[in-house]
Amino acid sequence: MIGRSHVRTLMRRMGIEALYRKPRLSKPQQGHTIYPYLLKGVTITQANTAWATDITYIPMAKGFCYLVAVMDLASRKVLSWRVSNTLDTSFCIEALEEAIQTYGTPEIFNTDQGSQFTSDDFTQVFKDNHIKISMDGKGRWIDNVFMERLWRSVKYQDIYLKEYTSIGELRHGLRQWFDGYDRRRHQGLDKRTPNEVYWSTLPGARDVG
Protein backbone atom coordinates (compact mmCIF):
# COMPACT_ATOMS: atom_id res chain seq x y z
CA MET A 1 0.00 0.00 0.00
CA ILE A 2 1.34 3.45 -0.90
CA GLY A 3 0.00 6.94 -0.36
CA ARG A 4 -1.34 9.51 -2.81
CA SER A 5 1.86 11.59 -2.67
CA HIS A 6 4.06 8.64 -3.67
CA VAL A 7 1.72 7.76 -6.56
CA ARG A 8 1.87 11.38 -7.74
CA THR A 9 5.69 11.37 -7.59
CA LEU A 10 5.94 8.11 -9.55
CA MET A 11 3.49 9.33 -12.20
CA ARG A 12 5.49 12.52 -12.68
CA ARG A 13 8.76 10.61 -13.04
CA MET A 14 7.18 8.36 -15.70
CA GLY A 15 5.56 11.25 -17.53
CA ILE A 16 2.01 10.09 -16.78
CA GLU A 17 -0.59 12.77 -16.13
CA ALA A 18 -4.34 13.14 -15.97
CA LEU A 19 -6.18 14.61 -18.94
CA TYR A 20 -7.89 17.80 -17.84
CA ARG A 21 -8.29 21.40 -18.94
CA LYS A 22 -5.20 23.40 -18.01
CA PRO A 23 -4.75 27.16 -17.72
CA ARG A 24 -4.65 28.82 -21.15
CA LEU A 25 -1.78 31.27 -20.79
CA SER A 26 -1.58 32.47 -24.41
CA LYS A 27 -5.09 33.89 -24.69
CA PRO A 28 -5.00 37.29 -26.48
CA GLN A 29 -6.60 40.36 -24.97
CA GLN A 30 -9.27 42.09 -27.02
CA GLY A 31 -8.06 45.47 -28.21
CA HIS A 32 -4.34 44.68 -27.92
CA THR A 33 -2.20 45.08 -31.04
CA ILE A 34 -1.08 41.78 -32.62
CA TYR A 35 2.25 42.12 -34.44
CA PRO A 36 3.31 40.08 -37.51
CA TYR A 37 5.50 37.01 -37.32
CA LEU A 38 9.08 37.91 -38.37
CA LEU A 39 11.07 34.69 -37.98
CA LYS A 40 9.90 32.88 -41.12
CA GLY A 41 12.96 32.12 -43.23
CA VAL A 42 15.32 33.79 -40.75
CA THR A 43 18.55 31.89 -40.04
CA ILE A 44 19.37 32.22 -36.37
CA THR A 45 23.02 31.31 -35.78
CA GLN A 46 24.30 34.27 -33.77
CA ALA A 47 23.50 35.31 -30.23
CA ASN A 48 21.12 38.27 -29.87
CA THR A 49 19.62 37.72 -33.32
CA ALA A 50 16.33 36.63 -31.77
CA TRP A 51 15.04 36.15 -28.25
CA ALA A 52 11.83 34.48 -27.14
CA THR A 53 9.73 34.33 -24.00
CA ASP A 54 6.89 32.26 -22.58
CA ILE A 55 4.95 31.70 -19.36
CA THR A 56 4.27 28.33 -17.76
CA TYR A 57 2.15 27.10 -14.86
CA ILE A 58 4.11 25.78 -11.86
CA PRO A 59 2.36 23.42 -9.39
CA MET A 60 3.59 23.54 -5.80
CA ALA A 61 2.95 21.40 -2.75
CA LYS A 62 0.15 23.79 -1.85
CA GLY A 63 -1.14 26.06 -4.59
CA PHE A 64 0.61 27.18 -7.75
CA CYS A 65 2.45 30.08 -9.39
CA TYR A 66 3.71 31.18 -12.81
CA LEU A 67 7.19 31.19 -14.33
CA VAL A 68 8.34 33.39 -17.22
CA ALA A 69 11.75 33.14 -18.92
CA VAL A 70 13.61 34.94 -21.69
CA MET A 71 15.75 32.76 -23.98
CA ASP A 72 18.30 33.47 -26.72
CA LEU A 73 17.20 31.25 -29.60
CA ALA A 74 20.63 30.71 -31.15
CA SER A 75 22.22 29.36 -27.98
CA ARG A 76 19.15 28.28 -25.92
CA LYS A 77 20.68 30.31 -23.06
CA VAL A 78 18.17 31.45 -20.43
CA LEU A 79 18.89 35.15 -20.07
CA SER A 80 16.47 35.91 -17.24
CA TRP A 81 13.41 34.56 -15.44
CA ARG A 82 10.83 35.53 -12.83
CA VAL A 83 8.13 33.79 -10.80
CA SER A 84 4.83 35.29 -9.66
CA ASN A 85 1.66 34.14 -7.92
CA THR A 86 -0.43 36.20 -10.38
CA LEU A 87 -0.49 36.68 -14.14
CA ASP A 88 0.21 40.38 -13.83
CA THR A 89 2.30 41.83 -16.68
CA SER A 90 4.84 43.36 -14.29
CA PHE A 91 6.85 40.17 -13.66
CA CYS A 92 7.20 39.65 -17.43
CA ILE A 93 8.48 43.21 -17.84
CA GLU A 94 10.96 42.70 -14.99
CA ALA A 95 12.39 39.61 -16.71
CA LEU A 96 12.61 41.42 -20.05
CA GLU A 97 14.31 44.49 -18.60
CA GLU A 98 16.82 42.36 -16.68
CA ALA A 99 17.77 40.50 -19.87
CA ILE A 100 18.28 43.77 -21.75
CA GLN A 101 20.33 45.35 -18.95
CA THR A 102 22.55 42.27 -18.68
CA TYR A 103 22.92 41.14 -22.30
CA GLY A 104 22.01 44.10 -24.51
CA THR A 105 19.22 43.93 -27.07
CA PRO A 106 18.22 41.39 -29.73
CA GLU A 107 17.24 42.30 -33.28
CA ILE A 108 13.92 40.45 -32.94
CA PHE A 109 11.89 39.40 -29.92
CA ASN A 110 9.31 36.65 -30.47
CA THR A 111 6.32 35.87 -28.23
CA ASP A 112 2.93 34.24 -28.46
CA GLN A 113 -0.23 36.35 -28.43
CA GLY A 114 -0.83 36.13 -24.68
CA SER A 115 -2.30 39.23 -23.08
CA GLN A 116 0.85 39.87 -21.01
CA PHE A 117 2.99 40.05 -24.16
CA THR A 118 0.57 42.12 -26.26
CA SER A 119 -0.01 44.70 -23.51
CA ASP A 120 1.08 48.28 -24.17
CA ASP A 121 3.39 48.27 -21.13
CA PHE A 122 5.27 45.17 -22.35
CA THR A 123 5.58 46.18 -26.01
CA GLN A 124 6.68 49.69 -25.04
CA VAL A 125 9.93 48.20 -23.74
CA PHE A 126 10.66 46.96 -27.27
CA LYS A 127 9.84 50.33 -28.80
CA ASP A 128 12.05 52.16 -26.33
CA ASN A 129 14.96 49.84 -27.19
CA HIS A 130 14.31 49.67 -30.97
CA ILE A 131 13.63 45.92 -30.95
CA LYS A 132 11.49 44.36 -33.68
CA ILE A 133 8.38 42.68 -32.27
CA SER A 134 7.38 39.26 -33.61
CA MET A 135 4.35 37.21 -32.56
CA ASP A 136 3.44 33.61 -33.34
CA GLY A 137 0.31 33.17 -35.42
CA LYS A 138 -2.37 30.56 -34.84
CA GLY A 139 -1.05 27.04 -35.34
CA ARG A 140 2.63 28.04 -35.18
CA TRP A 141 3.36 25.89 -32.13
CA ILE A 142 6.71 24.78 -33.56
CA ASP A 143 8.07 28.31 -33.28
CA ASN A 144 7.98 27.99 -29.50
CA VAL A 145 9.45 24.50 -29.35
CA PHE A 146 12.63 25.54 -27.52
CA MET A 147 10.63 27.17 -24.74
CA GLU A 148 8.39 24.10 -24.48
CA ARG A 149 11.46 21.87 -24.16
CA LEU A 150 12.80 24.15 -21.44
CA TRP A 151 9.54 23.92 -19.50
CA ARG A 152 9.49 20.15 -19.76
CA SER A 153 13.07 19.92 -18.54
CA VAL A 154 12.65 22.21 -15.54
CA LYS A 155 9.43 20.52 -14.46
CA TYR A 156 10.59 16.90 -14.74
CA GLN A 157 14.13 17.51 -13.49
CA ASP A 158 13.28 19.88 -10.65
CA ILE A 159 9.70 21.03 -9.97
CA TYR A 160 7.94 17.65 -9.88
CA LEU A 161 10.72 16.03 -7.86
CA LYS A 162 10.95 18.66 -5.12
CA GLU A 163 7.37 19.92 -4.68
CA TYR A 164 8.34 23.36 -3.38
CA THR A 165 6.30 24.71 -0.48
CA SER A 166 6.96 28.46 -0.86
CA ILE A 167 7.82 31.05 -3.50
CA GLY A 168 11.12 31.79 -1.75
CA GLU A 169 12.09 28.12 -1.79
CA LEU A 170 11.06 27.86 -5.44
CA ARG A 171 13.18 30.87 -6.44
CA HIS A 172 16.23 29.42 -4.70
CA GLY A 173 15.78 26.05 -6.40
CA LEU A 174 15.19 27.56 -9.84
CA ARG A 175 18.24 29.80 -9.51
CA GLN A 176 20.40 26.73 -9.06
CA TRP A 177 18.64 24.79 -11.82
CA PHE A 178 18.87 27.53 -14.46
CA ASP A 179 22.53 28.14 -13.66
CA GLY A 180 23.18 24.44 -14.18
CA TYR A 181 21.09 24.40 -17.36
CA ASP A 182 23.19 27.14 -19.00
CA ARG A 183 26.38 25.24 -18.12
CA ARG A 184 25.10 21.82 -19.22
CA ARG A 185 26.17 20.28 -22.54
CA HIS A 186 23.23 19.96 -24.94
CA GLN A 187 23.01 17.40 -27.71
CA GLY A 188 21.16 19.89 -29.91
CA LEU A 189 24.11 22.28 -29.58
CA ASP A 190 26.72 19.69 -30.69
CA LYS A 191 27.35 18.88 -27.02
CA ARG A 192 28.27 22.49 -26.20
CA THR A 193 26.76 24.50 -23.37
CA PRO A 194 24.31 27.39 -23.92
CA ASN A 195 26.87 29.72 -22.29
CA GLU A 196 29.56 28.51 -24.67
CA VAL A 197 27.41 28.98 -27.77
CA TYR A 198 26.08 32.36 -26.65
CA TRP A 199 29.45 33.96 -25.99
CA SER A 200 31.22 32.35 -28.95
CA THR A 201 28.60 33.65 -31.42
CA LEU A 202 28.37 37.12 -29.90
CA PRO A 203 30.89 39.48 -31.61
CA GLY A 204 33.34 41.01 -29.16
CA ALA A 205 32.44 38.80 -26.21
CA ARG A 206 34.71 36.35 -24.45
CA ASP A 207 34.17 32.59 -24.71
CA VAL A 208 32.67 31.12 -21.53
CA GLY A 209 32.10 27.40 -20.90
154-203 pLDDT per residue, tens: 999 999 999 899 999 999 999 999 999 999 999 889 999 999 999 999 97
Residue ranges covered by each domain of the chain: 24-200
Structural contact between residues 196 and 208, judged by C-beta atoms closer than 8 angstroms: yes
Structural contact between residues 72 and 106, judged by C-beta atoms closer than 8 angstroms: yes
Question: What confidence category does residue 208 fall into, taking pLDDT thresholds of 50, 70 and 90?
Answer: very low
What residues does 72 pair with on adjacent strands?
51
What is the average pLDDT score of the chain?
Answer: 87
Assess whether pLDDT exceeds 80 at residue 16.
no
The whole model's pTM is what?
A: 0.82
Q: Measured between alpha carbons, how far is 111 from 207 in angstroms, rounded to an integer? A: 28
Counting residues of the chain whose pLDDT is more than 70, the rounded percentage is 84
What residues does 134 pair with on adjacent strands?
110
What is 24-200's CATH topology?
A: Nucleotidyltransferase; domain 5 (3.30.420)
- 41: left (phi > 0), else alpha (psi -120 to 50), else beta? left
Say which residue, 173 or 22, is predicted with more confidence.
Answer: 173
> Nearest Cα to 134, choosing from 49, 32, 34?
34
Q: Measured between alpha carbons, how far is 61 from 99 in angstroms, rounded to an integer? A: 30
Question: What confidence category does residue 109 fall into, taking pLDDT thresholds of 50, 70 and 90?
Answer: very high
| DSSP secondary structure code for residue 45 in this structure | -
